Structure 1
Amino acid sequence: MQYLEGRRYVVQGIFLLVGLVFATRLFFMQVLDSTYKLAADRNTLQRLVQVPYRGLIYDRKNQLLVTNTPVYDLLVVPREVKGLDSARFCQLLQIPIESLREGLKAARKYSGTKPSPLVQNLSLAERAAIQDNLIDFPGFYTQARMARAYRTPNLAHALGYVGPITPKLLELPKYGRYGAGENVGIAGLESYYEPTLMGRRGVQFKMVNVRGVEKGAFRGGEFDTLSVAGQDLHLSIDAELQAYGEELLAGRRGSIVAIDPKTGEILCFVSAPHYTPETLTGKGMGNRYMDLLRNPDRPLFDRPLMATYPPGSVFKLVNELVALQLGVVTPSTGFPCNQKLVRCTHNHEYPSNVSIAIKNSCNPYFYQVMRAAVLRGKSPNRFEDARLGLGQWQKMVKSFGLGEKLGVDMSQEKRGLIPSPEYYDKRLGYHRWNFKTVYSLSIGQGEIGITGLQMANVLATIANHGYYYTPHFVKGIGNAGPLAKYRERHYTAVDTAYFKYVIPGMQEVVDGRGGTGSLASLREFGISVAGKTGTVQNPHGYDHATFAAFAPAENPKIAIAVFIENSGFGGSSAAPAAGLMIEKYLRGHVVGYHKRMEEWIKYGNLTAHLH
């Protein structure tokens, strides 16, 4: 019995001890620790995401292009909305009631307990006007963030833009750290370098009372994390050259791309028609975006990266180099200007060597050059011989960075097309085509398609005598130098020794008597320009004009490609535009007679104005 009596006291002691623990804990929670009293006034904590300062963007001369400005968003937590006076709320915010209903519906669909944006991009004055009244509207509060601001009206296609993250993106793992309403890079460099520019988000946990008034950090900020600002981008773009290029193509459709051959750095990236970067920021951004989208001139279309055209006569340079490598022609090989093969638009001397042929852009000459490169007698069957020859030709042409993505630091780059034997087999049938079917490739016409960026890169490759660096916009991130992947040389399938044979003819195009690109000449300034004009046939209207060049010819510092739609001969508008851009870059300004050409270029019929 004494044993049982002892057990009873032990059990009673245990219950008493547990009771004392609970009583002590309740006393601590209700009397000593105010955290739980504050939490009781409102059953949830406010979790505020601290969006970091987005990285800035500079040009090659450290001129600031893109910065940040503070704006405010009105957020809503649907489950916390009680007894909403919709009419008064809409009057306070100056929004239609339909917008309120749609916003609340979207917020509920996203989450009943997480904050969603209702009205974005409020200015400081707009935020101040509503802040004191939000106490009467539980579930609504404002949050500050940084929005993009631009110090340049140019370069919109390359910079891209920042906008609210979409529900589709939120479903992707790579955007797991984002919340509804947060901004994300949507196009251009803002999108490609999003992880670099965004930085690292921070989180603050705040206690609020029943009226929504802050009562301090939860547990003294024990669980808070600091945000880390994004890194800055230092671009290779020359802001002055970019502005000048956009001025030259004002009112036209086309592109200008300039590259430093020694580094692959993109100096300018003009897509016309263009728009200002500010267009896609702030209130009404969605409406302005739709206006651009509906514009028949397609200003949102990134022409240097996405528009693929036949290159025209500029492509003759590549064909000549491939033929030289294959050993089917020599620098002194001559072919007659036989217009029974293909029409020649120039009256010129007998093309007795490659320099004369390039200077006069003789179509029959380059027809015969490519025929020699393709029809090699590798098979007694003429169809199979064409297939084998074209297959080897295509591989060598693609080594110039054509028919493939170059790997520029921008999304949406197009590959273009360098047709293969399989392409024609599928289109025309196996052994149903031969060289006469595809001869238009010899003069840069037909099925071939390249972008403005690729054309500029081809000229950079010739300037370097056979290699190129991947074209890129960003010279450095933060305090770091050039990215390693942009310092790798990419060699063509043509030996370095052959490139010297096409450059004299290119110089004759610009500086020679009767050269087709004479309006790009900078002889008076002691600058030798090596270039090639092109006129691209257009079945839908006036022909397109092209011109590609590099300068100075002896020590190239800029390679450039100009493409202007519906402007006729390349020598009439594209060549002078390139000459002016080269002059602007190498000399810093355009003077004298050349100033007159600026307006003429915009009309696409320069020859008529000159004569």
Structure 2
Amino acid sequence: MYTGRSLVVAVTIGLIAFVLLGKLFLIQVTDDSYLRKAERNAIQRVVDHPYRGLVYDRNNSLLVFNDPVFDLMVIPREFHLEDTTRFCELFSIEKQSLVANFTAAKNYSWVKPSPLIKQISNEEFARIQDFLIDYKGLFVMTRSVRAYPQSAASNALGYIGEINAPQLARDSAGYYSQGDYVGLSGVESYYEPELRGKKGAKYKLVNVRGIDKGAFKNGDLDTLSIPGENLQATLDLELQVYGEKLMTGKRGSVVAIEPKSGEILTMISAPVYDPNILTGAKFGENYQMLNLDPEKPLFNRPIMAMYPPGSIFKIVQSLIGLQEGILTPNTTFACNRSLVNCHNHPSPVNLFGAIRNSCNPYYHQAFRQIINREISQNTYTDTQIGLDKWRESVMRFGLGSDLGVDLHGEKGGSIPSSQLYDRIYGEGRWKYSTIYSLSIGQGEMLVTPLQMANLAAIFANKGYYYTPHLIKAINGDPSRIPEKFKTKQYTGIDSVHFNMVQDAMAAALSGTAARAIMKDIAIAGKTGTAQNPAGEDHSVFIAFAPKEDPKIAIAVYVENAGWGGRAAASTASLLIEKYLTREINRPQLEEYVLKGEFIY
């Protein structure tokens, strides 16, 4: 017989046993969460990285493709080395790097795979693959890096690299993981969502020792990666390669645009570099070399460099004056060199002659009339009001702010306002004589080479432009490019005013840029020589051709090359000839440009 005390103990033990049995029943029969956890512990998820989309030029020549490489992955718990020296010799890795990489892998996870050696080439993989069987805990993941059949357009196309911590933090969609590759500059960065594709995944069953036991559930849960979308660039590869050849040994920029569409035909930042060196295992080493180069090859001059426009800006001044009714084709001024220096030419000149001869004193006097309207009878106030009104007109030419090209990092240049001069000199303490250098594109005015080329497109189109862009179609569909690239932007200048300006630009070549003249193709252009306090002046030239039916608008900026009619005009003329005729029939001019002795 149970006593009262023993009965209580027996009942308590019985209740505890009942609870434990019930819980065991729930775990084994009703609740499968523990089973699923056990399965996950035995399942290895391997990401299937997609191939990035390819990039072609406007004529369907391949610009960028994918080159397969291999990442050697390690599961730290399974990886043991008895002879570290031999391993390093077989796999061509420094001991210090091996230790650092393995330590990082352990810190990340003992049981999840991490990269031990990244971006092993095809040739290297063929050499080492027979040794992999000797080392447990290692397997290979196939990746791809970019490759370039022609070493051209590096700054426009950009490069890819391993994603960094700030980029991961901005990835709100959670697409990327540590170690993924992402577009870091150029087209690769701007069109990253289109180029990257969609990841897939494969699930492998492994035992507790990490040995592969085959596909999990016969691969029913596996998903295939989806390759990225292909892009057709607006670039003309043949023109790009030739332009880079002409700019060898020089610093500067070349941008050519198809005026009727805003499509960028060539974009050159000199000095150039071979984009193939920013791929593969030596990316970091080569990037550091380029980044420390005093010539700054990674600096994308067409969209980031800002210079005074020089005399090419006189065309903008002429058009604003004509539209405002302040100037007419017959407006005449003397070439008064006491106002500002000029070169020898007939005097006085009308507006046509001022453009043709690039007369500095003419624009000094014309700009004074544009700025000082005698509205308030106060010189300082009039200058302030006139400058701000003039600035509004100038900015409609795509100056003073970024154009919106499909590249990150574009600078907008600077068109000074009255607020700027108030900060510099004090309110009411400056007037026209303070800012007259703006009349000839100097002073505090800055533009980018892309904006210069866009000006040439505006002059060709008689008053409008399309936002310059580098992509013509996405996956073969032209309608998928952003709408802003298909919308006309108007300057507010009546088209009739461009007729005389175009004629004067064509006539100017015989005076300031005789080297640019072509026998069978009429070119309209304007030279510029931008002042450079730090050394030789910069050579500037913009043009469009053929004059009557423009198919190319171009801007060339060669740093420290002196007069615009030499380096810049000669280079532009050769590129126009190459694009329109596909050949060069002026070998002496080509030799002159390649030699590069412009200031001697």
Asked whether the two chains share a fold, i.e. TM above 0.5, the reply is yes
Which residues of 2 match residues 431-470 of structure 1 at below 5 A? 431-470=428-467
Give the distance between the partners of 2:352 and 2:108, measured in 1 at CA: 67
Deviates more, 1:113-122 or 1:441-450: 113-122
Query: 2:73–2:117: 8 Å Cα contact kept in structure 1?
Result: yes
**1:224: how far off?**
2.1
Letter of the aligned partner of 1:530 in structure 2? A
Q: For 2:268, give the aligned amino acid.
A: V
Separation in structure 1 between the aligned mates of residue 244 and residue 567 of structure 2, nearest angstrom: 15
Counterpart residue number, 2:59: 61
Q: Secondary structure at the residue paired with 2:478?
A: coil
Give the SS at the match of 1:148. strand
Which of 495, 503, 516 is the equivalent residue of 2:512? Answer: 516
Native 8 Å contact 1:84 1:137 kept in 2 = no
Q: What residue is the counterpart of 1:256 in the other structure?
A: 254
Residues in 1 aligned to 2:474 and 2:26: alpha-carbon distance in whole angstroms:
57
Distance 1:76 1:531 in 2: 62
Contiguous gaps of at least 5 residues in structure 1: 1-11, 30-34
Shift of 1:125: 4.2
Distance, in Å, in 2 between the alignment partners of 1:14 and 1:577 is 90
Q: Match of 2:349, SS?
A: coil
Give yes or no for the alignment of 1:425 onto 2:422: yes
SS at match of 2:281: coil
More off after superposition, 87-96 vs 355-364 = 87-96
How far apart, in 1, do the equivalents of 2:401 and 2:431 lie?
Answer: 25
Identify the match of residue 151 of structure 2 among 139, 145, 153: 153
1:599 aligns with 2:591: yes
Does residue 494 of the first structure (1) align with residue 490 of the second (2)? no
CA separation in 1, counterparts of 2:503 and 2:28? 97
The residue that corresponds to 1:545 in the other structure is 539
Partner of 2:8: none
Q: CA deviation at 1:135?
A: 4.9
Pick closer, same or farther for the CA change 1:439–1:131 going to 2, 3 Å: same
Alignment partner of 1:146: what SS?
strand
Shift in Å at residue 86 of structure 1?
Answer: 3.7
**SS of corresponding position for 1:436:** helix
Q: Spell out the pairing of 1:300-379 with structure 2 (5 A cutoff).
A: 300-344=298-342, 346-379=343-376
SS in 2 for 1:324: helix
TM-score, reference length from structure 1: 0.90
Matched residue, 2:5: none
1:410 matched residue in structure 2: 407
1:75 aligns with 2:69: no
Q: Residues 350, 201 of structure 1: CA spacing in aligned structure 2 closer, same or farther, 3 A cutoff?
A: same
Structure 1 position 134, deviation (Å): 4.0
Q: Determine what percentage of the aligned residue pairs are the same residue.
A: 49
Query: 1:36 and 1:380 mapped to 2: Cα distance?
Result: 86
Q: 1:195, CA displacement in angstroms?
A: 0.6
Q: How many Å separate the matches in 1 of 2:305 and 2:579?
A: 25
User: 2:285 aligned with 1:293, yes or no?
Assistant: no
Q: Which SS does the other structure have where 2:507 is aligned? A: helix
Gaps of 5+ in 2: 1-16
Q: 1:111 to 1:554 in 2, by over 3 A?
A: farther
The Cα shift of 1:92 comes to 2.9
Name the stretch that deviates more: 171-180 or 355-364: 171-180
Q: C-alpha separation between the residues in 2 aligned to 1:469 and 1:304?
A: 17
Cα separation, partners in 2 of 1:561 and 1:21, compared to 1, 3 Å:
closer
Output the amino acid matched with 2:180. E
1:558 aligns with 2:541: no
Q: Deviations over 1:249-286 (max 9, x none)?
A: 10000111000000000000011100111010112221
What's 2:113 paired with? Answer: 115
The answer to whether the 8 Å contact 1:351/1:362 transfers is no
- Name the counterpart of 2:475: 478
Greater shift in the superposed pair: 206-215 or 240-249: 206-215
Distance 1:357 1:580 in 2: 26
Q: Counterparts of 2:30 and 2:85 in 1: how far apart (Å)? A: 47
Q: Quick one: which amino acid aligns to residue 421 of structure 1?
A: S
CA distance in 2, matches of 1:89, 1:326: 78
Amino acid at match of 1:518: A
TM-score for both structures, normalised by structure 2: 0.91
The offset of 1:426, in angstroms, is 1.1
**1:169–1:175: 8 Å Cα contact kept in structure 2?**
no
> What residue in structure 2 maps to residue 233 of structure 1?
231
Give, in angstroms, the shift of residue 67 of structure 1: 0.8
Does the Cα contact within 8 Å between 2:158 and 2:187 map onto a contact in 1?
A: yes
Provide the rounded CA distance (Å) in 1 between the counterparts of 2:212 and 2:330: 85
Per-residue CA distance 1:396-439 (angstroms, 9 max, x = gap): 10100001110000011011111111111112211111111111
